[in-house]
Amino acid sequence: MATLTTTPNIPDPDGFYAELLALHEGRAEAESHALNARLVLILANHIGDRQVLAEAMALAAGTAA
């Protein structure tokens, strides 16, 4: 049973954030929302663990215990 990793775990987080912002540059708001949705689904599929995904959704929604 995996648990969600909430401690910093991305090498060069500032670089990753810059890449993420650049991915959205020049896109309309609706395009950015669709891009984010696709990215979430791709990463959720990669994770694959429903318990971890439920933890992540609760954390993002502010309802995590």
- Rounded to two decimals, the pTM is 0.87
CB 55 within 8 A of CB 64: yes
Confidence of residue 2 (pLDDT cuts 50, 70, 90): confident
Average pLDDT over the chain, rounded to an integer: 95
Residues in the chain: 65
CB 46 within 8 A of CB 2: no
Every domain of the chain and the residues it spans: 30-65
